[in-house]
Amino acid sequence: MPVDVLVGTQWGDEGKGKLIDVLTRDVDMVVRFQGGNNAGHTVEIGDQKYVLHLVPSGIFRKGVKCLIGNGVVVDPIALVAEMENLVSRGVSVDDVQLSDRAHLIFEYHKRADALREAGAKRKIGTTGRGIGPAYTDKAARVGIRGCELLHLDRMENLFREQAARYNQLFVANGVEALNVDEQWTKVKAAALYLQKYVQDTVVTANEFIRAGKNVLFEGAQGAFLDIDHGTYPFVTSSTTTSGGACAGGGISPRSVRDIWGVMKAYTTRVGEGPFPTELFDADGNTLREVGGEFGATTGRPRRCGWFDAVAGRYSCMLSGINKLAVTKLDVLDSFEEIKICVAYDLNGRKLHYMPASVEDLSAATPIYETVPGWNCSTADARSIAELPVNAQKYLRRIAELVESNVAIVSVGPRRDQTFQA
């Protein structure tokens, strides 16, 4: 079987981690290709709950290779902590490989992230993990990459050079300078731990593909956090749409077969930025409470709202999604009526696509279609036929509106609460 890519179609937290874990039953390799530990991917297995930030969500399946690709930005200290935590819980990390071309995140990136947010007129509400500054250094060609972990003398020089540059920025802005010796000691310890995992993951991935093995690319964040296509500037700093898998994993577009889009049955967003269907009423609170909508990385309450088919259609178009995994359908179980946003109204003009400017998106009001709810639990359904008729109709309607096909439905956080449509 060839290569499949799985991405988030909204603003992140669609349930990608759960889906990757489910799909990995039939997969030989999972590859993260962008983002960093801003991601929080939850996998529930039995009574155990794991939140992964950098390690691919295929790690719970024995023998599945888990690659952290060249497009990922990696905080070595956070990665070691995550791997050690997995090992302490009995999960082997022997199959992890870290790209020698992935850029590294250090304390100075996190501090620069915080400094930027503190001083900004337009706060982004970042996760504070140093993602933006690390990708900035990558683009500015002053980043430090995974391959340096194998050459500590060289890496130390690069690290001290960059830390000194950042310290000038911190001091100029009234922020305490970093103790570079202290930081280097920590980085060096993490580097020594990670050395044996550093590989040319591009070669590993392409060898698997050539051998006809099953490879799954695990997207982080979601379409509207994409640096190009998201609600700029309220976005992350990487390509979160399916095209990112090729650049961030080092594979050819020719090898990709299916594109999975994970789509929550409603919408959530963490951090700042426009969100047309956001609810500030009791319905919004119900979605948050029933859906457990609190950030897996930062614990922040997620903003909640109705399903936005304008956004959904746009992200299916961007990523070429041919298989939808609709998640958290069960969270809608208690609603008498459910709303679906079918278009936006911008000053009397009907919009069917996402506008480029956040000012327009903020001014746009959703045009809703109201459909009846189903008022009963879907958590035990294991086929489309076992769903209440109104839930079946809801799925059909959103698939029609976003112009794609529902292939998997998820009705709870556990592996078994998933079925093919």
Residues that bind ligand IMO (CB under 6 A): 8, 11-13, 38-41, 124-127, 129, 131-132, 220-222, 225, 236-237, 270-271, 296
Does residue 17 bind ligand GDP (CB under 6 A)?
A: yes
Token digits of residue 229: 């296509």
- 15: three-class secondary structure by DSSP: coil
Token digits of residue 107: 């304390």
Q: Which amino acid, 172? A: A
Rounded Cα–Cα distance for residues 329 and 59 (Å) = 26
Q: Which amino acid, 369? A: E
Nearer to ligand GDP, 124 or 364 (CB): 124
* Angle at CA of residue 335, ends 332 and 336, nearest 5°: 145
Rounded Cα–Cα distance for residues 396 and 399 (Å) = 5
Q: DSSP string of 176-209?
A: PPP-HHHHHHHHHHHHHHHGGGEE-HHHHHHHHH
A 10 A CB-CB count for 237 gives 24
Q: Give the largest Cα separation in the chain, rounded.
A: 65
Does residue 261 bind Mg ion (CB under 5 A)?
A: no
Candidate segments 172-180, 225-233, 359-367, 407-415, binder of ligand GDP by CB under 6 A: 407-415
Nearer to ligand IMO, 270 or 421 (CB): 270
Whether 146 contacts 99, CB under 8 Å: yes
Sole binder of ligand GDP in the list 236, 277, 327, 378 (CB under 6 A): 327
Nearer to ligand IMO, 134 or 406 (CB): 134
| # residues contacting ligand GDP (CB under 6 A) | 22
Sole binder of Mg ion in the list 5, 7, 13, 32 (CB under 5 A): 13
Which of 237, 259, 235, 234 lies closest to 246 in space, CA to CA?
259
Rounded Cα–Cα distance for residues 294 and 13 (Å) = 10
129 interface partner picked from ligand IMO, Mg ion, ligand GDP, none, CB below 5 to 8 A per type: ligand IMO
Q: How far is the CB of 16 from ligand GDP (least distance, A)?
A: 3
Q: How far is the CB of 52 from ligand GDP (least distance, A)?
A: 8
Q: How far is the CB of 104 from ligand IMO (least distance, A)?
A: 16
124 interface partner picked from Mg ion, ligand GDP, ligand IMO, none, CB below 5 to 8 A per type: ligand IMO
Q: DSSP string of 370-382?
A: EEE---S--TT--
For tokens 């302490």, the residue is 88
Which of 238, 259, 255, 258 lies closest to 246 in space, CA to CA?
255
Candidate segments 38-46, 143-151, 155-163, 210-218, binder of Mg ion by CB under 5 A: 38-46
Token digits of residue 282: 């009791």
125 interface partner picked from Mg ion, ligand GDP, ligand IMO, none, CB below 5 to 8 A per type: ligand IMO
Does residue 296 bind Mg ion (CB under 5 A)?
A: yes
Rounded Cα–Cα distance for residues 297 and 104 (Å) = 19
Indicate which residue of 4, 28, 41, 308 is catalytic.
41
Contacts of 196 (CB under 8 A, 6+ apart): none
229 is catalytic: no
244 interface partner picked from Mg ion, ligand GDP, ligand IMO, none, CB below 5 to 8 A per type: none
| β pairing state of 267-269 and 303-305 | antiparallel
Does residue 41 bind ligand GDP (CB under 6 A)?
A: yes
41 is catalytic: yes
CA end-to-end span of the chain: 21
Whether 326 contacts 395, CB under 8 Å: yes
Does residue 330 bind ligand GDP (CB under 6 A)?
A: yes
Candidate segments 14-22, 84-92, 120-128, 199-207, binder of ligand GDP by CB under 6 A: 14-22
Nearer to ligand GDP, 80 or 263 (CB): 263
What is the DSSP-derived secondary structure letter of residue 300?
P
Sole binder of ligand GDP in the list 310, 391, 411, 421 (CB under 6 A): 411
Does residue 381 bind ligand GDP (CB under 6 A)?
A: no
Does residue 56 bind ligand GDP (CB under 6 A)?
A: no
Q: How far is the CB of 283 from ligand GDP (least distance, A)?
A: 16
Does residue 8 bind ligand GDP (CB under 6 A)?
A: yes
| β pairing state of 48-52 and 41-45 | antiparallel
Candidate segments 270-278, 296-304, 322-330, 380-388, binder of Mg ion by CB under 5 A: 296-304
Q: How far is the CB of 110 from ligand GDP (least distance, A)?
A: 20
- Which residues form the catalytic set? 13, 41
Residues forming the site for ligand GDP (CB under 6 A): 8, 12-18, 40-42, 44, 292, 296, 327-328, 330-331, 410-413
Which residues in this chain contact Mg ion in the complex, by CB under 5 A?
13, 40, 296
